[in-house]
Amino acid sequence: MLASAIPGAYMAERVIAAPFEDVWSVVSALEEEFGTFEPDMRRLTIVSGHGSERLVAKARSRYGMRARFDIELQPGWCWMQSRFLIVGVAAAAVPGGTLVAQTGGVRVPGRAALVPLGVRAAGEKALARLEARVVRR
């Protein structure tokens, strides 16, 4: 479901051998943790909606680019969308740990599809870094 609604999206999946609560505590701590596992993000700051399912954040990439994201965040689901970027993370408890899926990419205004520039590598890297972060906690 995560990537099927968006043509051009790639979905990376991984089972992390940790309880859902441990994995989701990293994913959902957007200001503190998002930059530790999402390869292109350096910092994310919530500017409105603290404590709700609908947030607005300002993000800065590792390359200095900035974006304003509208975010939907609830247990097991995080959808972030800016004018040019989409990032989605979903998680569910499974036998042996937590299944995590990640998708993302570059949006082109006026197009229904994502531009698949580096999406596969970025998704796999994000989940590997997320797993390492969960294990270190």
What CATH number is attached to the domain comprising 49? Answer: 3.30.530.20
- Domain assignment present for residue 18? The answer is yes
Q: Are 56 and 47 in contact (CB under 8 A)?
A: yes
Q: Are 119 and 107 in contact (CB under 8 A)?
A: no
The rounded percent of the chain whose pLDDT value lies above 90 is 57
**Predicted structure pTM score:** 0.85
- Domain assignment present for residue 40? The answer is yes
Range of the domain at 62: 11-136
Q: Mean pLDDT over all residues of the chain? A: 87
Q: Could you give the CA distance from residue 120 to residue 114 in angstroms, rounded to a whole number?
A: 12
**Enclosing H/E stretch for 134:** helix 119-136
* pLDDT tens string 12-25: 999 999 999 999 99
Domain tally, the chain: 1
Residue 69's DSSP bridge partners are: 57
Give the pair of three-digit tokens for residue 1.
């479901």
